[in-house]
Amino acid sequence: MKNNLRKLPKGFLFDFDGVVVNSFESHHSAWSSAFEALFNQKIAPFPKSHAGKSPMLIAEYYCSVIGKEAQTAELFYLKDKHLDLYFKTPILLPGVKEFTRFLSKENIPYGIASNATKQFLKNSIHHLKLDFTTVFGVEDYIKPKPAPEAYITLAKALGFTSKDFKDIWVFEDSLTGTKAAKAAGMIPIGITTQYNAAELQNSGSALVFPTLLEAYQYLTED
């Protein structure tokens, strides 16, 4: 039973990678195989500074390491193809199913807005049997995170107007996504799978939790 003294937000928006799932191996495997197929060499280590950024910017980084920036788009599309062809189911993080069951019971709208590609989101949700029906991927935005468009698009699809935004929680593990939520006028809530509590709070997170499980417990405690 939730604490009646704690008013629930009007809606909950979720990033995907690092919040709902640990998908590092899924993405890294696809980046690695695509990079090796395209350039016949091993890929550079993934930089933490690029966590949460759009796949095109990540592709640009990997290409820049070997001076092949002109092939950024080629790597991006090949990685997306490998991500689908050689799909690796990501690891579900704690608390996701408890959280979505709770929100459904309370009739609180929720959905996903990610900088990951739509097909990866759909494949993951299908294989993990997750209860997310409103899902947006990087192809759905003109300007991906850290621009606020992703979360504004999702919120409007869930039936919210701009006056509701200040009462919507957004779960994010990256500084990129946290900035997007804040720019949208929503309440960023940090998940410490990528950055620590201080880093997320300095970026704008109002509250910070290790996983969605602790956030769910916070909202439902007696």
pLDDT value at residue 1: 41
pLDDT value at residue 222: 64
- How far is residue 179's CA from residue 108's CA, in Å, rounded to a whole number? 24
What's the mean per-residue pLDDT of the chain?
Answer: 93
DSSP-assigned beta bridge partners for residue 12: 110, 169
Q: What is the pLDDT of residues 33-78, one digit of tens each?
A: 999 999 999 999 988 788 768 888 899 999 999 999 999 999 999 9
Judged against a pLDDT cut of 80, whether residue 3 lies above it is answered with: no
For a pLDDT cut of 90, what percent of the chain falls above it? Answer: 83
- Considering only 3-17, 75-89, 160-174, which range has the smallest mean pLDDT? 3-17
Q: 3-state SS string over 144-171?
A: CCCCCHHHHHHHHHCCCCHHHHHHEEEE
- How far is residue 154's CA from residue 167's CA, in Å, rounded to a whole number? 14
- How far is residue 49's CA from residue 53's CA, in Å, rounded to a whole number? 9
- If one compares 9 and 27, the residue with the highest pLDDT of the two is 9
Q: Residue range 15-37: average pLDDT? A: 94
CA-angle at 100, arms to 29 and 167, nearest 5°: 105
Q: Indicate the pLDDT class of residue 153, thresholds 50, 70 and 90.
A: very high
Residue 144 makes CB contacts below 8 A (sequence gap 6+) with 53, 54, 115, 138, 150
pLDDT value at residue 5: 42
Preceding omega of 55 cis (within 30 degrees of 0): no
Q: What is the pLDDT of residues 94-139, one digit of tens each?
A: 999 999 999 999 999 999 999 999 999 999 999 999 999 999 999 9
Q: Indicate the pLDDT class of residue 6, thresholds 50, 70 and 90.
A: low
Question: What global pTM score does this model have?
Answer: 0.87
